[in-house]
Structure 1
């Protein structure tokens, strides 16, 4: 399916949030996937992932996850300077602001004539956490979370009682967790903590641990696993086809 790409600055309680929109270049209505990026925002690999999903008949919204902390259109480089800035942004933005971003994204999607109104979430790295966090919103029907950081460690700023780990029971849709066994950002003990919480809360989840490093989906750098990435795209598309259509 051929796609089109444009952007829109969505109003949020913490300022304008530039959001890339990838969607089929044909008439009709399609379900929406909010695709949350790494700390570097919408890099070329993130754009290619969004395009891949859109080509399967979805509207894909890619928000600038730290829009309050950077000029609109900021993309950080995959280098030490970019990593330091992205991590500083991660620790500066409270989860409550990510929540209001998600609410604004859902409202934007549902206001578009080309959207069916069904919305899911997907993300990588901190974006995996944000997709998980989005799933706390009952309007998110499904979430596909790839090597989500900081859930087990409770290191992202939030108000008392509002951390992501403790709120897992609020997830009403279906959620998939995918982890790399060689990922130092979410070690075995952290994965076990999240798994036990998923069992204890009784949420509707699927769980995979694969032989891979952190950022194995990113098609730049020496950690990329093309065959495994393709499998993950196929699984994500299957999830969203089943839950959003």
Structure 2
């Protein structure tokens, strides 16, 4: 499929949020995936991930996850300064802001002729957590979380009872959880805790652990593992084609 890309600036309760829309050419309606970036926002690797998914017959929307804290169009570099700024933004944003961002996107998608109303979510690193957060919205039917950070901890600021793992009863769709066993940000004990809580909540989820480091799906840098990335994308495509078809 040939992909078209356009930009939309959405109003949210916390300010204007730029979204990048990647979708097949033409006016046909497609299932739509909310795709959440790493702390660096829509870098080259994130854009390529979005276009890869769009090329399989999906409209893909990539929001700027820290729009309240940066000028519109900000992309952080994959270096120490970029990491420091992204982690500072992660610590500064209220967790409720992610929910209102999701609600704004879902409401807007309801008016788009190219969205058929079948919604999924996916993301990487903090974006994996934000995809999980999107699954709290009842309209999201399938979610793929790639090495989601901070699910096992309280690192994302929140009010009591507002951490994502405290709200599992709000998740009605299917989850795909994909982890690297050599990921220092999500140790084995943390993964085990997430698995335990998802199981106790009797959620519909699949669980995959591979021999990969953090960010092994990012196609830049020394940690990229093309074979594992391909496996992850295929699992996500299988999930979305089955649930959102």
TM-score (norm 2): 0.99
Cα deviation per residue 1:148-196 (whole Å; 9 max; x = unaligned)?
0001011111121111112123210000111100000000000000000
C-alpha contact (below 8 Å) 1:154/1:164 kept by paired residues: no
Distance 2:27 2:60 in 1: 16
4+ long deviations beyond 2 Å: none
The match for 1:177 is 177
Equivalences, count: 245
Deviates more, 1:29-38 or 1:163-172: 163-172
C-alpha contact (below 8 Å) 2:27/2:113 kept by paired residues: no
Matched, 1:143 2:143: yes
Structure 2 unaligned segments of length 5 or more: list them.
none
C-alpha contact (below 8 Å) 2:3/2:55 kept by paired residues: yes
The match for 1:193 is 193
Alignment of 1:214-233 (within 5 A): 214-233=214-233
The match for 1:242 is 242
C-alpha contact (below 8 Å) 1:154/1:165 kept by paired residues: no
The match for 2:165 is 165
Alignment of 1:63-78 (within 5 A): 63-78=63-78
SS in 2 for 1:165: helix
The match for 1:61 is 61
Structure 1 unaligned segments of length 5 or more: list them.
none
Please report the RMSD computed on the Cα atoms of aligned residues, expressed in angstroms.
0.7
Matched, 1:118 2:121: no
Distance 1:117 1:165 in 2: 26
Distance 1:157 1:235 in 2: 31
Cα deviation per residue 1:57-84 (whole Å; 9 max; x = unaligned)?
1000000000000000000000000000
Distance 1:112 1:44 in 2: 26
C-alpha contact (below 8 Å) 1:91/1:156 kept by paired residues: yes
SS in 1 for 2:164: coil
Alignment of 1:204-223 (within 5 A): 204-223=204-223
1:98 CA drift (Å)? 0.3
C-alpha contact (below 8 Å) 1:123/1:130 kept by paired residues: yes
Deviates more, 1:129-138 or 1:104-113: 104-113
The match for 1:30 is 30
SS in 1 for 2:73: coil
C-alpha contact (below 8 Å) 1:145/1:177 kept by paired residues: yes
Distance 1:110 1:23 in 2: 16
SS in 1 for 2:138: coil
1:234 CA drift (Å)? 1.2
Distance 1:108 1:229 in 2: 31
